[in-house]
Amino acid sequence: MKFLKTIFLLFFVIARSQDGFQISNPKKTVIPFQLINNLIFIPVNINGTELTFLLDSGVSETILFSLENKEVNFNNVEKIKFSGMGESLDIEGLKSEKNTISIGKDFRDQNHTVYVILDEGINFSSHVGIPVNGIIGYHFFKDHPIMIDFESKKITVFNESKRYERQIRRFEEFPITIEGNKPYIIADVEMTNQRVPSKLLVDSGNSDAIWLFPKLIKDFEYNRPNIDDYLGQGFNGDIFGKRSRIHGLYIGNFSFVKPLTAMPDEYSIQHLNLAPNRKGSIGSDILRRFTVIFNYPEKKIFLRKNRSFNDPFLFNSSGLDIMHDGMSWEKDLVKIETKKRMEIASEGTNIYSANEGFRYNFVLKPQYTVSGCRKDSPCFEAGIRKGDRIISINKKAIGNFTLQRINDLLKSQEGTRLNFRIERNGEESNHTVILKDPIPYSDAN
């Protein structure tokens, strides 16, 4: 800090020790992020190597699981075993201490512990569409108030009390608890007609709206209709369970009607060390509807509605799971304009006539493969299967799509027709998927 001692007393700077992240800017630091599938991805520099990490309030430690052909020199390494959500057993990893991590220009920790997963089968990048190297959670949040603005895609880390206090005046304040280095809030869950106060993890690393754990909720009954579905990938393997809609979720005076809810099966959570009385999670499909301020030191969270608050809870009703499957060289026909000069000596001027032409440019474009097709879903009925390579959607070459744009298409209005051209075993074929929501909300159980 660069302020005189007498002025310093006016400022609210959390994290007085040299442990944890420090801000070199006396007021605040701003970190841009990418928002993909409701998830936040930030630039992280570890020991001089630029990487991309998921910002996940639901993890207690910093975890690296992929380097994407990059190299990082780690310090003080030892072997460990740890577990996470999924169906497999413990996995092996490394623990490395005393690393230097920088996030943005002004946010740095010079004594950071990183856990490295050695399982090459863990690959979040293919399901996001950009290289993802790891996850950072508690240590990013623990020492300073952190504001996440989902509209501007910027994170503000406050380092001064007046600026922070001026900001929170426009927000609703809620208490949280920090247990196992993770934040928990009490919210009301209404399955059908009764609101039940429930302890939920505030989980920015979960792209869904809500997760509930049926085995931990007394007299739990699944709302109907519901479907068996693949819910995502954990450190211990794939996560399976059911999806449905509940009547409502209530956080103070904020209410959400018919939010989509995922309910992992008991095998997927068997290795989790759950906080006492936890019933589930609030994910980023809820959080993205607010500007959010986390204040771990004071055990508070602040929420303010943004323009996305009333967005409908959309479901990928195609049944398709699509993954990024590398890059390929493709040729694009590009229109070019050439000019021919004609001299007019008497006036000392040049006149150019334009001629149109075309040429091919070779560019790297993404490839996508079907990583799953839910049984009895629209994609299954259309004849699409796991492992099919996508050539085009609605007659547009697949290389022109981002994974985010594909996922947005799969959440289009019910009845939308999507025409896929796919390649299987060297042969191409056309398939029409007609979107149909398998879990429209019903008041009946």
Tokens of 275: 């906080």
For 128-181, how does the pLDDT look when each residue is reduced to its tens digit (9 = 90+)?
A: 888 889 999 999 999 999 999 999 999 999 988 888 999 999 999 999 999 999
Residue 297: is its pLDDT beyond 80? yes
From residue 321, alpha-carbon distances to 59, 142, 291, 317 in Å are 25, 35, 29, 11
Q: What is the rounded CA–CA span in Å between residue 423 and residue 389? A: 5
- Are the C-beta atoms of 118 and 93 separated by less than 8 Å? yes
Query: Looking at residues 23-29, what average pLDDT do you find?
Result: 84
For 51-97, how does the pLDDT look when each residue is reduced to its tens digit (9 = 90+)?
A: 999 999 999 999 998 887 788 888 788 887 766 554 445 677 889 99
Superfamily of domain 320-327+366-434: PDZ domain (2.30.42.10)
Q: What is the DSSP string of 6-30?
A: HHHTTS-----SSSS-EESSSSEEE
Nearest to 307 by CA among 151, 153, 177, 121: 151
Is the fold of 171-305 the same as that of 320-327+366-434?
no
- Are the C-beta atoms of 390 and 370 separated by less than 8 Å? yes
CATH of domain 5-163: 2.40.70.10
Domain boundaries, the chain: 5-163, 171-305, 320-327+366-434
Q: What is the rounded CA–CA span in Å between residue 58 and residue 66? A: 19
For 259-277, how does the pLDDT look when each residue is reduced to its tens digit (9 = 90+)?
A: 999 999 877 776 677 889 9
Beta strands in 277-397 (DSSP E): 278-282, 290-295, 300-305, 320-344, 349-373, 389-393, 396-397
More confident position, 99 or 444 = 99
Place of tokens 């009764």: 194
At the top level of CATH, which class does the domain 171-305 belong to? mainly beta
